[in-house]
């Protein structure tokens, strides 16, 4: 992969489905840190409010992923690169999902993934699988997604820290000690 264009002070909280990302992000926000939302879930939530079903929302996988990509590009483009921000997923996560779904990605996705160098990438270890209205992967799928996320981030020069399974507040303490 090419060298990142912009070095940021952003930390990515990532991992496959059901790793506790949202819980960690919420706890970081409660401690006063700036955080972002997970765009895939936010998009699903807004579409359900508008009356669409999960199946309708996810029917066109390419359209769904492009929408999430556009939301992530917009958000990361508005953040101050010097400010410490914890991102609930980042652009390379979109690349991992494109790979998982077997979707072809265009140069724009690669260019965007090459744009930022994150301060740290925290990959949370998998927790027991609990599906909900927006998370429908089975165990094999979520392990594959998790491994794709790891392999995508390993291709970038951003430092990676694996976060073990701990009680939620201890996970946040672990992250803060390893920034």
In sequence order, which ranges of the chain are alpha helices (DSSP H)? 21-30, 39-49, 54-58, 61-78, 91-101, 107-113, 139-154, 168-177
Would you give the distance in Å from CA 34 to the centre of its chain? 16
Query: What are the sequence ranges of the domains in the chain?
Result: 6-177
Q: What is the pLDDT of residues 9-60, one digit of tens each?
A: 999 999 998 899 999 999 999 999 999 988 677 666 677 677 877 777 667 7
Q: With bands split at pLDDT 50, 70 and 90, how would you rate the model's confidence at 1?
A: very low
User: Which range, of 27-31, 91-95, 119-123, averages the lowest pLDDT?
Assistant: 91-95
**169 vs 27, 88, 126, 172, 173, CA distance in Å?**
7, 17, 16, 5, 6
As a whole number, mean pLDDT of residues 116-140 equals 81
Whether the full predicted model's pTM is greater than 0.75, yes or no, is: yes
CATH architecture for the domain at 6-177: 3-Layer(aba) Sandwich (3.40)
| Share above pLDDT 70 across residues of the chain, in percent, rounded to a whole number | 87
Query: 135 pLDDT exceeds 70?
Result: no
């Amino acid at each position: 992969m090419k060298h990142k264009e912009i070095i940021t002070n952003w930390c990515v909280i990532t991992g496959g489905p059901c790793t506790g990302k949202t819980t960690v992000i919420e706890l970081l926000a409660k401690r006063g840190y700036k955080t972002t939302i997970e765009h895939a879930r936010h998009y699903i939530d807004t579409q359900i409010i508008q009356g669409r079903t999960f199946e309708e929302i996810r029917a066109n996988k390419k359209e769904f992923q492009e929408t999430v990509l556009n939301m992530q590009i917009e958000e990361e483009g508005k953040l101050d690169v010097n400010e410490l921000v914890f991102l609930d997923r980042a652009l390379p996560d979109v690349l991992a999902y494109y790979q998982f779904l077997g979707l072809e990605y265009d140069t724009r996705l690669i260019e965007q993934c090459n744009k930022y160098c994150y301060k740290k990438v925290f990959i949370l270890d998998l927790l027991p699988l609990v599906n909900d209205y927006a998370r429908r992967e089975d165990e094999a799928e979520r392990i594959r997604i998790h491994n794709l996320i790891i392999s995508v981030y390993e291709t970038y020069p951003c430092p990676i820290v694996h976060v073990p399974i701990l009680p939620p507040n201890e996970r946040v303490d672990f992250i803060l000690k390893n920034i």
